Amino acid sequence: MRRYSQHFVRLLLGSFMLLAGTAHLSYARQSFLAQVPVWLPLDPDLVVVASGLVELGFGLGLLFAPQSSRRAVALALALFYVLIFPGNINQYLQGIDAFGLDTDAKRFVRLLFQPLLVLAALWAGGILPRGKKLEP
């Protein structure tokens, strides 16, 4: 059962990352631009485009990479989720409205979901510690 749930989460995250990458590069670009912290010493448009391309790569990797590479893709995705967390914190602290997050409460709740994404990536890649099998 564990393998099926990991497979399901991997497919779900891969699809989510393809959607997020596409959104970065097209219809939600302005919302993503609003989230780039002002203290980041890079062009905000470059950050949005680069992160969109990276997300597309993660999506494709999760969906189509050979099994031997999935752990590495999942670990890199978990690290990516950690690295983009300051942007989410910035959105909360600056009160930036984007993606329907138009109150401090909504922006705060979103912060709570970022660790779940990290755990989901680790689970999908089979990186989280496995439980011991019970002997009959």
Please write the tens of the pLDDT for every residue from 114-124. Answer: 999 999 999 99
Closest CA to 2 of 118, 130, 135: 130
- pTM attached to this predicted model: 0.87
Q: Which of 24-38, 78-92, 118-132 has the lowest mean pLDDT?
A: 118-132
End-to-end alpha-carbon separation of the chain, Å? Answer: 18
Please write the tens of the pLDDT for every residue from 78-102. Answer: 999 999 999 899 999 999 988 889 9
Cβ within 8 Å of residue 118, ≥6 positions away = 78, 81, 82
Q: How far apart are CA 95 and CA 66, in angstroms?
A: 41
